[in-house]
């Protein structure tokens, strides 16, 4: 290496930053003791600004473009260096490249649930998560407030700080919205826009804005969601009494198709449930005055003729065997107008209207015709 090449290696003649990380907010140009040559080229690409610092003081700021570094476009640095009449020698300065584009897909979420008051459900705990984008709007404020002398300031160094600010604002926004819990999903975009404005205002002193804020989901604790699902199921089913009867009838059919074992136990349990429902129906009929269905009689003895039930003086009598019916007729308990019932009949019926009992009653002749009056005898003739 010749002497002139060694001398040229001590000076920097191109100052630029090619960001291939996609998450670097601030990058300090690695001068490493070398001096920047006067008339060197400064290349600032779109989405960047270049900030020159001299001994900790922010000097000149360059927006996107290509510049030839000289005293006339470094007015503040020239004044700090004392270059009142121009200077052409190499100089030393810290050069920071600050990303001004939007840094997207930043994550946020509530680590602990946010407690809010709901008009319908009372006190509920909500969780939420989503994404947001970060953008630097004032490079000088960012360098002063957050970066300091960090040679490479990345988004993960500020993400936790931003998440804490976001969570505090989310809780305030949800509580102040006064929206029913079931309407939050329909108003997520409105709440997100409000949060983006509030966060940008709070972060303005750091030179940061939140141009885009997204709420992906607002959720309840698992046990509350399970209870809400039950309530939704009840709404879908409608009349629960009708649904219970349908389920009972279906269970009886299933038990009948599966004789023995668990099927019999299921049929017994369903039968008991139906009995309880019938008892409740009878009690309701007594309270309301509505006619209640007559209680079913016992089943007939296997191999024997079905017994009869009689309504005598407002009381149910029976079961009465068929062989005992003539005695009941003789005693006057069973008359043609006596209501009778036998299994298989839809309702109580007068005995005279039941063909099977017609032979118990002797035929009664109609009333005799009236006797004509006697004709008086004719008077004797003279």
Give 260-299 pLDDT, tens digit per residue: 555 555 555 555 555 566 556 555 555 555 555 555 555 5
Class of domain 102-224: alpha beta
pTM for this entry: 0.57
CA atoms within a 13 Å half-sphere pointing along the CA-CB vector of 333: 17
85-113 tens-digit pLDDT: 777 788 888 999 999 999 998 999 988 88
For 329-338, the CB contacts below 8 A with 24+ separation are 329/360, 329/361, 334/310, 334/360, 335/361, 336/361, 338/310, 338/311, 338/312
Would the pLDDT of 177 be above 70?
yes
Give me the residue spans of the domains in the chain.
3-99, 102-224, 239-283
Average pLDDT, the chain: 80
Given this model, what pLDDT does residue 325 score?
85
Calculate ∠ Cα 246-252-256, nearest 5°: 145
Q: Which two tokens stand for residue 161?
A: 């700080």
Tokens of 31: 């001068």
């Amino acid at each position: 290496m010749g002497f002139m090449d060694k001398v040229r290696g001590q000076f920097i003649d191109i100052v630029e930053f090619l960001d291939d990380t996609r998450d670097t907010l601030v990058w300090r140009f690695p001068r490493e003791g070398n001096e920047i040559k006067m008339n060197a080229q400064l290349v600032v690409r779109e989405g960047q600004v270049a900030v020159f610092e001299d001994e900790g003081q922010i000097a000149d700021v360059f927006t996107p473009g290509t510049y030839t570094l000289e005293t006339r476009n470094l007015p503040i640095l020239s004044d700090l260096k004392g270059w009142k009449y121009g200077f052409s020698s190499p100089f030393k300065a810290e050069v920071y490249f600050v990303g001004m584009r939007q840094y997207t897909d930043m994550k946020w979420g509530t680590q602990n649930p946010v407690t809010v008051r709901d008009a319908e459900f009372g006190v509920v705990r909500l969780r939420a998560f989503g994404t947001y984008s970060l953008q630097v709007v004032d490079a000088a404020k960012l360098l002063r407030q957050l970066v300091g002398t960090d040679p490479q300031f990345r988004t993960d160094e500020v993400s936790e700080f931003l998440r804490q600010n976001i969570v505090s604002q989310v809780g305030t926004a949800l509580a102040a919205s006064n929206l029913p819990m079931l309407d939050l999903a329909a108003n997520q975009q409105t709440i997100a826009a409000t949060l983006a404005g509030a966060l940008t205002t709070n972060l303005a002193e750091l030179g940061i804005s939140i141009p885009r804020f997204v709420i992906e989901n607002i959720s309840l604790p698992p046990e509350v969601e399970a209870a809400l699902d039950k309530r939704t199921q009840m709404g879908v089913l409608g009349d629960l009494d009708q649904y219970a009867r349908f389920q009972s009838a279906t269970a009886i059919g299933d038990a009948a198709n599966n004789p023995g074992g668990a099927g019999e136990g299921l049929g017994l349990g369903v039968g008991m449930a139906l009995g309880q429902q019938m008892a409740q129906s009878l009690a309701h009929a007594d309270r309301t005055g509505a006619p209640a269905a007559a209680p079913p009689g016992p089943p007939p003895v296997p191999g024997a003729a079905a017994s009869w039930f009689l309504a005598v003086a407002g009381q149910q009598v029976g079961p009465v065997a068929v062989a005992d019916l003539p005695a009941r007729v003789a005693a006057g308990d069973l008359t043609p107008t006596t209501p009778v019932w036998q299994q298989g009949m839809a309702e109580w019926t007068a005995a005279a209207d039941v063909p099977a009992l017609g032979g118990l009653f002797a035929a009664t002749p109609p009333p005799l015709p009236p006797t004509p009056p006697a004709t008086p005898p004719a008077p004797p003739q003279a």
